[in-house]
Amino acid sequence: MYFNKDSSKHSSFVIVPILSSAPETGLEVGGTALYSFYSDTVSKNNTHVSNIFGYASITTKSQTNLTLNGTYWFPGNKFHLYGAISYLNFPFNFYGTGNGTRQAGEDKLGQHRFKLNLEAETKLGDDLLLGLVAGGFDYTFSAANPAGIYSTDPLVEDKNGGPSIFAGPSVIFDTRNNNTYTTKGTIVTAYLNIMQGVLANNNYQGGFFNIEYSGFFSLDKQLVLGLDVQEQSLIGGQSPFYLLPAMGSDGMMRGYYNGRFRDRNLIAGQTELRYRISKRFGIVGFAGTGEVFHSAFSTFDLKPNYGGGVRYFFDVQKGLSIRMDYGVGEKRPGESRQSGLYVALGEAF
């Protein structure tokens, strides 16, 4: 699969090892796997690639990170199903809320999280899918430092976490020629989660709205320009800190630690130039900007990000790749410039 000529419509399977180390986790080892296939291997319609993705790791301090998800596109993309289940027993760095948190406020928290996501959409017209999302989650946290920002900052709401369920509508507008390596077309996705706390958390009611636009333009046979804009908002009178939109991931605002900045609203955008050197190799350059805010958006508070990366296409026919990106963010006064290295399967968007 890695080096031989691809056969159209065949399935593929790839495994990537995980190895990292940090003071709060010790040594982390594990692996991630991706199985990709087509639901329709006969007709020549533009059926998207379906896949099953798994991630599992364990640390020498008995922490675990387990994820299993899958997406299934029916022939002709008439229906779309998605499911994900994850369990996380893993520490993270918490910096408080807002767009101006400081490195000096770093507070190390323990985290247990169980999450279930389900989606189903049906096709209406040529490019529009309407559907439903549903699921649930349960968060618990612990702080080693009783004098840290997590324990003392009154702006940090709902420190006990707890279980909730959610459901709501979803919309997908999709004209992409390929859902794994797009060279032309547009996808707009939107969903609204109406959330209700249950059991010990039954006093929580709220919602979460997400909308994202991605457009792709073929500038040359080997050159593609991608544009990506996303907005997220937490709805309701309460602001549980663990549900606040958080900046930074391997797909948007690369270079920022996930959750370094979090608040009621997030807006971010990026552009990426992708050059396909050959069937197997590619390079990219990207730049973007974004911010989190409580109620008022300000262009003066936008944060920059930029960087580049390389791609190795292990399945040429489906456009599936292993990517390595290095992203750079802002340099706040008295702190080193924020940056991050990412190794992942598939494109950032």
Other Cβ atoms less than 10 A from the Cβ of 287: the count is 16
Q: Is residue 184 part of a domain?
A: yes
Average pLDDT over residues 76-96: 96
pTM for this prediction: 0.91
> What pLDDT is stored for residue 9 in this prediction?
72
Tell me how many domains the chain contains.
1
Q: Is residue 2 part of a domain?
A: no
1 confidence band (pLDDT: 50, 70, 90): very low
In the block, tokens 């990026």 appear at: 270
> What pLDDT is stored for residue 44 in this prediction?
65
Average pLDDT over residues 64-92: 96
Work out whether strand 107-124 and strand 79-89 pair parallel, antiparallel, or are unpaired: antiparallel
Q: With CA atoms as reference, report the closest residue to 286 among 325, 257, 321, 317.
A: 325
What distances in angstroms separate CA 165 from CA 190, 195, 197, 225, 332, one per listed residue? 19, 6, 6, 38, 38
CATH number reported for the structural domain that contains residue 248 in this entry: 2.40.160.50
H helices of 33-135, in order, are: none
> What pLDDT is stored for residue 237 in this prediction?
93
Q: Is residue 117 part of a domain?
A: yes
Q: Among 8-22, 253-267, 309-323, name the one with the lowest average pLDDT.
A: 8-22
> What pLDDT is stored for residue 24 in this prediction?
78
Q: What's the pLDDT tens digit per position in 172-217?
A: 999 999 999 999 999 999 999 999 999 989 999 999 999 999 999 9
Question: Is the per-residue pLDDT at 6 higher than 60?
Answer: no
70 confidence band (pLDDT: 50, 70, 90): very high
Contact 265, 251 (CB under 8 A): no
- Domain span at residue 83? 12-345
Share of the chain above pLDDT 90, in %: 88
SS3 149: helix
Q: Is residue 1 part of a domain?
A: no
Name 137's Cβ contacts closer than 8 Å, sequence gap at least 6.
Answer: 113, 114, 115, 116, 163, 164, 166
Structure tokens at 133: 């999302």
**Cα R_g (the chain), whole angstroms:** 20
Contact 320, 50 (CB under 8 A): no
Q: Is residue 325 part of a domain?
A: yes
Q: What's the pLDDT tens digit per position in 219-267?
A: 999 999 999 999 999 999 999 999 999 999 999 999 999 999 999 999 9
> What pLDDT is stored for residue 306 in this prediction?
98
What distances in angstroms separate CA 144 from CA 130, 148, 149, 267, 278, one per listed residue? 45, 8, 11, 32, 50
Q: What's the pLDDT tens digit per position in 106-154?
A: 999 999 999 999 999 999 988 999 999 999 999 999 998 999 999 999 9
Amino acid at 69: N
> What pLDDT is stored for residue 42 in this prediction?
78
> What pLDDT is stored for residue 258 in this prediction?
94
Q: Is residue 4 part of a domain?
A: no
Average pLDDT over residues 268-286: 97
Q: Is residue 5 part of a domain?
A: no
> What pLDDT is stored for residue 23 in this prediction?
77
